[in-house]
Amino acid sequence: MSDHTAAPAPAPAPPRRGTGALVAVLALLAVLLSPAWAGAAPPTAPLTTDPADAAAGWLTGEFTDGDHLSTSFDLNGDGVIDPLTEVFPDYGLTADAVLAFAAAGSAGAAAGAATDYLAANVSAYAGDGTAESYAGSLAKLIVIADVMGRDPTDFGGRDLVADLLAREQASGRYSDASAFGDFSNGITQALAVLALERAIPGGASAAAVDYMIAQQCADGGFNSVLETVPCEGEVDTTAFSVQALDVAGRDAALAPATTFLLGEQAADGSFAAPGFGTPPVLTYNSNSTGLAAQALSSLGEDAAAEEAVSWLLDRQVGADGPQPQQGAFAFDATGFDPANATRATTQAILGVAGVGFVDLVAPTDPLAYGLDVGGGGVLPPPPGTTPPPPPPAPQLPATGAEPSPAITLGLSRDEAAGLMPMPLSILDESKDADGKRVLTLGMTPAAVVDQFGRSTPDQVKLLLMGRVDHAGAG
């Protein structure tokens, strides 16, 4: 629960249209896709005027099977999402939802169910701990386990702490072990420090904290790309890093990082994440603003945090929006977009609630709440009535109008349109014993990602296989 009261938001903008359709993505390379449209509405009872509780309630309506968030993608390009073959669990987003519920202090039943789901799927999210082991996922799961009162040394039958400690290199960097490459980054390092400070006596090693501090840019901020030159601070990575520095007691590095974060705040209270282009396109958004507000609150920078929260509350869908959207946070000033609202809402809640990662505890209230619009919006159905059946699965037009993963992951429409497909030269052509044509990947998956992957503000490498030139071409 927060100290704020929800206010109506402007009417949502019409859905965005992408300029091209992604027709295939290498599943082997584990590209994140668009959050699945759950077809559910937020609770109609009980109701609340607390914006964090209402947002948490809206998130529960997005859950699949009541215990996880999902991602969908039109793999065959037919314009229809097949729930059996084109909807996938999104473990990272599910974990973010648990943290959001903890910050709000409500939706405890959903938080518990989601934690159980993550425990049952540790290997799918964090790797098997041997051939595949992902530092960032392990760190987030440790935080989840500790927040929810579970044992991070026996979570889903895995010792997450031991697995994360095994990923610490001699330099102090927490790196991935994977056939697909090392995708650890600045957020990974900060989250690992936070996780170990919460979970074990003595916390993270001095080498790990020193390595994180060594990544601090001259402007005081932190960049998501480790060991990058030139180094320019970014809001999201710095928001994680200042919380890690604070709990580790590294005040000398904390002071300039805090100054950097305060300096990145716009006059309207918002924060931006860099995109691509020259110069990079900045998008003032709820994810960056939510993370920054959370960090500033935990550091006692209350005035700046309140300004950020004020901007966030202007992005929350209130009485002026459709009831199925009420309580959600729009990604940016263009209004509610189902392609990115779920991700935006999870981190906006962190900012509105103002609870730092180190102070999160399991929600004490099991209930999920709908937004009380005071009669200005859609009212709940009368007691004893049967609610209408859920709407059918969305039928997406096969015209390139479906939400693009590139836009979902934070790229602008121009940046998404400028993505270059992977060339056919990555494939080697030969013939088998029967003379049939055989295509094989001519380079390692890690090399494909490194050479052709495009980083996004959500720290995901996106690969474009091809485009549909016109309707019917796919």
Q: What is the DSSP string of 217-276?
A: -TTS-B-SSTT-SS---BHHHHHHHHHHHHHHT-HHHHHHHHHHHHHT--TTS--EEE-S
Indicate if the pLDDT at residue 282 is higher than 60: yes
Q: Give residue-wise pLDDT tens across range 88-98.
A: 999 999 999 99
* Mean pLDDT, range 126-145, rounded to an integer: 97
**Bridge-based pairing state of the strands 461-462 and 454-455:** antiparallel
Highest mean pLDDT out of 9-18, 107-116, 403-412:
107-116
Q: Is the pLDDT of residue 169 over 90?
A: yes
With bands split at pLDDT 50, 70 and 90, how would you rate the model's confidence at 74? Answer: confident
pLDDT at 16: 29
Residue 281: the pLDDT is 80
280/28: higher pLDDT: 280
Report whether pLDDT(167) > 90. Answer: yes
Res 413 pLDDT > 80:
no
Closest Cα to residue 103, out of 391, 457, 349, 268? 349
User: What does 310-367 look like in DSSP terms, one character per residue?
Assistant: HHHHHHB--TTS-GGGTT-B-SSTT---TTTHHHHHHHHHHHHHT--GGG----S---
pLDDT > 80? residue 9: no
pLDDT at 400: 38
Region of 186 on the Ramachandran plot (φ > 0 left; ψ -120 to 50 alpha; else beta): alpha
Higher pLDDT, 386 or 56: 56
pLDDT-derived band at 36 (thresholds 50, 70, 90) equals low
Q: What is the pLDDT of residue 468?
A: 35
Lowest-confidence segment of 83-87, 172-176, 455-459 by average pLDDT: 455-459
Torsion of CA 35, 37, 111, 134, to 10 degrees: -20
Residue 148, both tokens: 């929810």
* pLDDT (mean) for 104-123: 98
**The pairing of beta strand 87-89 with beta strand 282-284:** unpaired
Residue 312 dihedral angles phi and psi, to the nearest 5°: -60, -45
CB distance 20 to 417 below 8 Å: yes
Predicted pLDDT at 146 = 98
Buried-exposed string 402-421: b where 16+ CB fall within 10 A, e elsewhere: bbbbbbbbbbbeebbeebee
Confidence bin at 461 (pLDDT 50/70/90): low
Considering only residues 469 and 328, tell me which one the structure prediction assigns the higher pLDDT.
328
Cα of first residue to Cα of last residue in the chain, in angstroms, is 48
Reported as a single tens digit per residue, the pLDDT across 356-399 is 999 999 999 999 999 998 853 333 343 343 444 444 444 433 33
User: Is pLDDT above 80 for 82?
Assistant: yes
